[in-house]
Chains A and B, each alone.
Chain A
Amino acid sequence: MPNKYKINQIQIGNNTFQTIIATTSEGKLLHIPIDELNSDFQQFLKDVVDNGLTCVEGADVETEISYVDARKLEYPPLEEQLDQIYHSGIEAWRTDITKIKDKYPKSQVGVSSISPLPEWLIDLTSS
């Protein structure tokens, strides 16, 4: 029985890296790099050519982040917040923070969806 594959994607600095996660018939997870000299990647290419794209699933992408992460990204650094309290008082600080909290209500949860397969993979089956 051929392996099941999933594209895995992560952002490191300005670069997006992809790897392939294979689930073998024994249930083992293999993290396979996209490297033509890697024998597991060679097997992945062979399985896609032999069995089609149905054995591969696209990468999970977070289309909307949770309110926790969204607020974290927008809050000013702690030093700036303390500075604001010192100079403008706690009410001014509370007003600014409330704006962020209202912008991202607690009802906002992270949403993941599956992205389309990469072009190079689709080209593999059409060539």
Chain B
Amino acid sequence: MSLRVTKPEFNIREKLNELDRPIGVQGNNILQSNTTAESFSKIQAGRRNLLINGNMSIAQRGTSTTGITGDTFGACDRWEADLSSAGTWTMEQVGDAPYNTGFTHCTSLTCTASHGMGGGGKISLRQKIEACNIKGLMGGTPNAKPLTVSFWVKSNEPGKYYVGFFRQRTGTSSSCIGISYTIEQSEVWEFKTITFPPDTMNGYNTTENSTGIEIHFFLAADQSTYGAEQYGHWSTEANHMAKGQTNLAAATNNYWRITGVQMEIGNENTEFDDRSHIEELTLCMRYYEGIIMGTGTALFRTWTNTAGSPTNVSNAQYDYKVEKRATPTWSLEGNATWYPSGTSGMSAYPSTSTCLFQRNDTTHQFLADGAGDLCGSFNAEL
């Protein structure tokens, strides 16, 4: 009796060709993953940038502030000049960006009155991130993850600069770290990436809607205060944050520009996490909501209480587009005024979701702004 066995055709030449097909180092890494979670982490898929407005496209407050000598949100949303005893500066959103990268704007800081950087002074560009938005970092636990910061930077003053972090911890000092980078050439956009080790120092900020971590890009720092020997790891001592930092405040017209800023969990930087304009604007509005009026338009319809308590008061209500981080501060902006003019205007009684305007008489008012621009703001910045 004979037995016939069949099996699929096996092309040895084809199999040999497959061995030549490049997989790449990252491909090998992914192939070596033991779990789905590990594969996902290696691909670095999903929402990556922990910063808001990293491409400097949103500037609700306006595009320029001059004469800055203290902490100021001067141009691009969420980015604040952190400044003390460091001269005078102009902060701007500028239509300048590295060529062929897709970026169109940057934040620019220009020195308009120089300073020798004594007296414990410093200037940095910073962004504070809410504690509820950095849980994935697992800071303050044994499982804390590394952070990678990438950005494009340009200055007329090449040299050593620092990127630093302060991580808030309830009931104890912040943990902090500073790592340097070098601007090689004058007036040329350069791409930088820095990886920070995990911060396992015990504790974190338990108030979820206050600051969890803040990132600082130093432009100048008093070396007697911030220039101690570098540790390169997290500690509670801020005096080692910026050893050898260039003093950009040394001369007027010195400038420093930045865009495409990304802060992500992991050891490697990935491509910039582009969000749609409206998504980025919505994220910004949790912290600052500007009210824009067209020329000749009016805002707020007031009504008079005729029942309840108290009666005979004028009211208006504004519902925010986005729930606020905390109860915001209300302010008129630009040349906006309450109409009829000559009256004291309405008092604001805001919550995190809406604002009641009220005055203690029956004068009906509305907000007028002849310029068709920013006329009021609700500020809930960290």
Are A and B associated in one complex? yes
A interface residues (Cβ-Cβ under 8 A, vs B): 8, 10-14, 17, 19, 21, 28-33, 35, 37-41, 62, 69, 72
- Interface centre among A30, A31, A72, by most chain B C-beta atoms within 10 angstroms, is A31
Are A69 and B380 within 8 A (Cβ)?
A: no
Are A33 and B310 within 8 A (Cβ)?
A: no
**Closest A residue to B309 using CB positions:** A13
**Closest A residue to B380 using CB positions:** A38
**Closest A residue to B315 using CB positions:** A12
Bound complex: CA A76 to CA B302 (Å)? 26
Kindly state the interface size class of chain B when it binds its partner. 20 to 34
**Closest A residue to B379 using CB positions:** A40
Given contact pairs A13-B309, A38-B327, a sample of 11 additional A-B residue pairs in the complex whose CB atoms are under 8 Å apart: A11-B310, A12-B349, A12-B356, A19-B347, A19-B348, A32-B329, A33-B328, A37-B207, A38-B328, A38-B380, A41-B329
- Of B312, B325, B327, B360, the residue contacting A33 (CB under 8 A) is B327
Bound complex: CA A69 to CA B379 (Å)? 36
Q: Is there a chain A Cβ closer than 8 Å to B156's Cβ?
A: no
Bound complex: CA A40 to CA B207 (Å)? 18
Contacts of B329-382 to chain A: CB distance below 8 A: 329-332, 345, 347-350, 356, 358, 360, 379-382
A-B contact count (CB 8 A): 61
Residues of chain A within 8 A of B310, CB atoms compared? 11-12
- Of B326, B349, B380, the residue contacting A19 (CB under 8 A) is B349
Are B360 and A10 within 8 A (Cβ)?
A: yes
Give chain A's interface secondary structure class. Answer: strand
Q: Is there a chain A Cβ closer than 8 Å to B209's Cβ?
A: yes
Are A12 and B331 within 8 A (Cβ)?
A: no
Q: Is there a chain A Cβ closer than 8 Å to B210's Cβ?
A: yes
Are B332 and A29 within 8 A (Cβ)?
A: yes
Q: Is there a chain A Cβ closer than 8 Å to B22's Cβ?
A: no
Give chain B's interface secondary structure class. Answer: loop
Are B348 and A31 within 8 A (Cβ)?
A: yes
Q: Is there a chain A Cβ closer than 8 Å to B308's Cβ?
A: yes
**Closest A residue to B359 using CB positions:** A10
Are A37 and B326 within 8 A (Cβ)?
A: yes
Residues of chain A within 8 A of B209, CB atoms compared? 37
B334 → chain A closest CB, angstroms: 10
Are B329 and A31 within 8 A (Cβ)?
A: yes
Residues of chain B within 8 A of A17, CB atoms compared? 349
Are B326 and A10 within 8 A (Cβ)?
A: no
B interface residues (Cβ-Cβ under 8 A, vs A): 207, 209-210, 308-310, 312, 325-332, 345, 347-350, 356, 358, 360, 379-382
Bound complex: CA A107 to CA B146 (Å)? 75
- Quick one: given A19-B349, A31-B347, A37-B210, are A12 and B330 in contact (CB under 8 Å)? no
Residues of chain A within 8 A of B380, CB atoms compared? 38
- Of B309, B330, B381, the residue contacting A14 (CB under 8 A) is B309
Bound complex: CA A39 to CA B325 (Å)? 11
Residues of chain B within 8 A of A40, CB atoms compared? 329, 379
Are A11 and B329 within 8 A (Cβ)?
A: no
- Quick one: given A17-B349, A33-B350, are A72 and B329 in contact (CB under 8 Å)? no
Are B327 and A72 within 8 A (Cβ)?
A: no
Residues of chain B within 8 A of A12, CB atoms compared? 310, 349, 356, 358
- Quick one: given A33-B329, A37-B326, A38-B328, are A72 and B312 in contact (CB under 8 Å)? yes
Bound complex: CA A12 to CA B351 (Å)? 14
Are B308 and A13 within 8 A (Cβ)?
A: yes
Residues of chain B within 8 A of A72, CB atoms compared? 312
By Cβ-Cβ distance, the 9 closest A-B pairs, closest first, are A37-B326, A35-B327, A33-B327, A31-B348, A31-B330, A40-B329, A30-B331, A32-B329, A11-B310
Residues of chain A within 8 A of B347, CB atoms compared? 8, 10, 19, 21, 31
B110 → chain A closest CB, angstroms: 20
Are B382 and A39 within 8 A (Cβ)?
A: yes
Bound complex: CA A33 to CA B327 (Å)? 6
A9 → chain B closest CB, angstroms: 9
Residues of chain B within 8 A of A21, CB atoms compared? 347
Residues of chain A within 8 A of B329, CB atoms compared? 30-33, 38, 40-41
7 contacts between A and B (CB under 8 A): A13-B309, A28-B331, A31-B348, A31-B350, A35-B326, A37-B325, A69-B312
B192 → chain A closest CB, angstroms: 30
Bound complex: CA A17 to CA B347 (Å)? 11
Bound complex: CA A39 to CA B324 (Å)? 13
Bound complex: CA A39 to CA B382 (Å)? 6
Residues of chain A within 8 A of B382, CB atoms compared? 39
